[in-house]
Amino acid sequence: MAGAERTGTDRQRQRAKPPARLADAVEAIGAGAYVVDEQGLVLAANTPAERLLGRPAADLLGQDAHDLLHRGPQGQPLPTTQCAMRQAFHAGSPAQGHEEHFLRGDGSLLPVSWMITPYDLGDTGDRRTGTLVVFHTPEHADSAEPRPERATESLTDFERLALLAETTTRLTSTLDVDEALRRLVSLVLPRLADWAVIDLITEHDEVWRTAVVHAEGDRLVHQEDLEGPMPPVPEESPMPLSRALRGVASALAGPATYRRAPDSGIAVEQRRLFEATGIHSAAIAPIRGTREVLGALTLGRAEKPGDFTTADLPLLEDIARRAGVALDNARLYQRQRAVAETMQNHLLPQMPRVPGLQMAVRYLPAPDASQVGGDWYDAFTLPDGSTALAIGDVVGHDLEAAAGMAQLRNMLRAYAWSQQEPPSRIVQRLDEAIMPITDVTMATLVLARLTRTDDDNWQLTWTNAGHPPPLLITRDGLADYLTEGHSLLLGTGVRAPRPDASVLLPPGCTLLLYTDGLIEAPGHTLDEGLSRLRQHAAALAHRPLPSLTDQLLRRVHPPGLDDVALLALRTPPQPDPGRTASRRR
């Protein structure tokens, strides 16, 4: 029991601090809110939830939310079979509830209304799907005082709050601009309007009408003929979209707004939009980032009855504000990623031209990594005319790993060029130099020497320092891993002999050197990954080498999980008899 208690405490301690992105997203919600994982354990809670529940967030994290909070009207524990929230939670669907009770920290009951919706945990370091719970008390429910009439009158105050909470969590859980825009459109259509228009300002200060979407029942249909480049933003125009794109203010608009003589090219495009869509009422708000205006969001009503009023603008502005934060983060991430990929590509070398051999290389960075990694390949000609081949992986997925990769590769080239020794001895020298000379902690590596024999065949000699084994595929589709020559990875500090292995490559065969990102996938063993690679490589043996490498990555690589470096080599279909005879003479 004591051991079980320590294990439970350890798990709770591990959850004592939620991921920063998740905590920030939940904190931005104005009502009480918390997020649970697929088991119902609390991952994050915001300040209003702490205040309403009378419990610090640290007491909530790691706890089963249903068991800890949900009670019947007399304070009795609520069986899961009688809990509508739990049933919707297991079904993974949005739901709402009213006149229910949560247990406060002091033992009193808190009457609540609640809303739950699935929440993507993808950018919290977790690949699972969680659930967002938003709740409020009766004193925060809809006021009985009369309110101005508005087009979103069908939404209660709690539903507006829930919409903003859902907007925050859904938009902040992706760092892909296109995905963020798709989520934004699906949040407002058809709930608030039947048309949504998104105009974005590019990094070159050009305006692009990125999305014109119509809600046709449950379907969201893009009107591509209305999308595309827009005229520049006029500096003085008082028209609603022009003001929104300058970040001045949100505004209402209708067909009459743009029937007057146009003062700019944007006004002409707006007139075309209203005529083509039949929108009779629109609300337009700026999309602001942290440093600049990113664009504008327009909601339009054509089939929906009722016009937007000024009372609707605060909700639209809140949605646009949250969209701006999400788009700003996504753009920053994509800029960093583009720089990182450019850096990685410049670090990776060009392949030498070796008469009689074909070579193809590929590098795929993991889409969910914001920086470069330590996967690399190399090939270069040695002083004796043979060809060195290398594939490696430095531990880490950051700039430090990339720098270590460059150090390791350059040192390997220097040793291989200057020391006319077997691959095992060169790798041993490299391993001895890693700790005192480089910033590399650990790395894996295959180093091979490819030599043309007197009878015009190709001899491969290699050593393997803890790396996945090379795969050899004959032109008839027989595929085998070269498991010999294996030893410890680099950087362990253990000084042990490293073996060499050798094989005569068959004519027309394909040799694959790759990193572990090609064969590792969550929920699957390494043996399963190796088997999958062997199966697909054998099936593609007849393909031209560039096609084989491309298809192999499409079929085998689990997208978005890890970097992949791939070096493929193919020998000639048969030895050159003329060259062989010339050598014999």
Give me 83's structure tokens. 């809990």
- Lowest model confidence (mean pLDDT) among 119-128, 185-194, 245-254, 445-454: 119-128
Q: What does pLDDT average to over the chain?
A: 85
Task: Specify the higher pLDDT residue, 311 or 339.
Answer: 311
Nearest to 259 by CA among 247, 268, 249: 268
Beta carbons within 8 Å of 38's beta carbon, 6+ residues apart: 128, 129, 130
Radius of gyration (Cα) for the chain, nearest Å? 31
Task: Specify the higher pLDDT residue, 441 or 368.
Answer: 441
pLDDT of residue 347: 62
How far does the chain reach from its first CA to its final CA, in angstroms? 83
pLDDT band of 396, cuts 50, 70, 90 = low
The answer to whether residues 237 and 263 touch, using CB atoms and an 8 Å cutoff, is yes
| Tokens 């491969």, residue located | 460
Please tell me the distance from the alpha carbon of residue 187 to that of residue 172, in angstroms, as a whole number: 13
Q: Indicate whether 532 pLDDT > 90.
A: yes
Q: Which amino acid is at 129?
A: T
pLDDT of residue 93: 76
pLDDT of residue 370: 46
- The string of pLDDT tens digits covering residues 420-452 is 899 999 999 999 988 887 777 889 999 999 999
What is the average per-residue pLDDT within 200-207?
90
What pTM does this model have?
0.53
What is the average per-residue pLDDT within 457-486?
96
- Counting residues of the chain whose pLDDT is more than 70, the rounded percentage is 84
pLDDT of residue 141: 43
Give me 24's structure tokens. 């920030």
Measured between alpha carbons, how far is residue 75 from residues 136, 138, 404 in Å? Answer: 18, 18, 60
What is the average per-residue pLDDT within 487-515?
94
- What pairing do the DSSP bridges indicate for beta strands 486-487 and 458-465? parallel
SS3 337: helix
Give me 180's structure tokens. 């963020």
Nearest to 343 by CA among 265, 402, 257, 268: 402
What is the average per-residue pLDDT within 341-353?
70
What is the average per-residue pLDDT within 9-14?
42
Measured between alpha carbons, how far is residue 79 from residues 57, 71, 75, 87, 551 in Å? Answer: 24, 9, 12, 11, 52
Residue 210 φ/ψ, nearest 5 degrees? -80, -35
pLDDT of residue 259: 87
SS3 212: strand
The answer to whether residues 26 and 35 touch, using CB atoms and an 8 Å cutoff, is yes
What is the average per-residue pLDDT within 56-72?
93
pLDDT of residue 481: 97
Task: Specify the higher pLDDT residue, 542 or 25.
Answer: 542
Helices 313-347 and 157-172: angle between axes, nearest 10 degrees:
10
Q: Encode burial over 83-113: b for 16+ CB neighbours within 10 A, e otherwise.
A: bebbebbeeeeebbbeebbbbeeeeeebebb
Residue 385 φ/ψ, nearest 5 degrees? 95, -10
Q: What angle do CA 462, 467, 469 make, to 5 degrees?
A: 60
Q: Indicate whether 221 pLDDT > 60.
A: yes
Helices 526-539 and 545-556: angle between axes, nearest 10 degrees:
140
pLDDT of residue 8: 43
- The string of pLDDT tens digits covering residues 272-300 is 999 999 999 999 999 999 889 999 999 99
Nearest to 25 by CA among 158, 103, 122, 96: 122
Please tell me the distance from the alpha carbon of residue 99 to that of residue 77, in angstroms, as a whole number: 16
Q: Which amino acid is at 371?
A: Q
pLDDT of residue 331: 87
Q: Indicate whether 99 pLDDT > 70.
A: yes
pLDDT of residue 174: 84
| Tokens 């040192």, residue located | 411
pLDDT of residue 577: 56
What is the average per-residue pLDDT within 388-395?
92
pLDDT band of 332, cuts 50, 70, 90 = confident
pLDDT of residue 51: 92
pLDDT of residue 151: 53
Please tell me the distance from the alpha carbon of residue 444 to that of residue 71, in angstroms, as a whole number: 55
What is the average per-residue pLDDT within 249-260?
91
SS3 110: strand
Partners of 200 in the beta sheet? 208, 295
pLDDT band of 116, cuts 50, 70, 90 = confident
Burial of 225 (0-12, 13-18, 19+ CB in 10 A): exposed
pLDDT of residue 29: 78
Instruction: Report the phi/psi class of residue 221: left, alpha or beta, with left for phi > 0 and alpha for psi in -120 to 50.
Output: beta
Q: Which domains does the chain have, with CATH numbers?
A: 1-173 (3.30.450.20), 192-339 (3.30.450.40), 348-584 (3.60.40.10)
Distance of CA 396 to the CA centre of its chain: 18
pLDDT band of 124, cuts 50, 70, 90 = very low
pLDDT of residue 561: 65
pLDDT band of 3, cuts 50, 70, 90 = very low
pLDDT of residue 182: 94
User: How many residues can be counted in the chain?
Assistant: 585
Give me 42's structure tokens. 């609390």
Residue 548: count other Cβ atoms within 10 Å of its Cβ: 22
pLDDT band of 559, cuts 50, 70, 90 = low
Nearest to 449 by CA among 375, 505, 530: 505
Measured between alpha carbons, how far is residue 440 from residues 207, 274, 402, 432, 443 in Å? Answer: 45, 60, 10, 12, 7
- The string of pLDDT tens digits covering residues 140-161 is 444 434 444 445 555 666 677 7
pLDDT of residue 130: 85
- Lowest model confidence (mean pLDDT) among 222-231, 359-368, 388-397, 458-467: 359-368
pLDDT of residue 398: 57
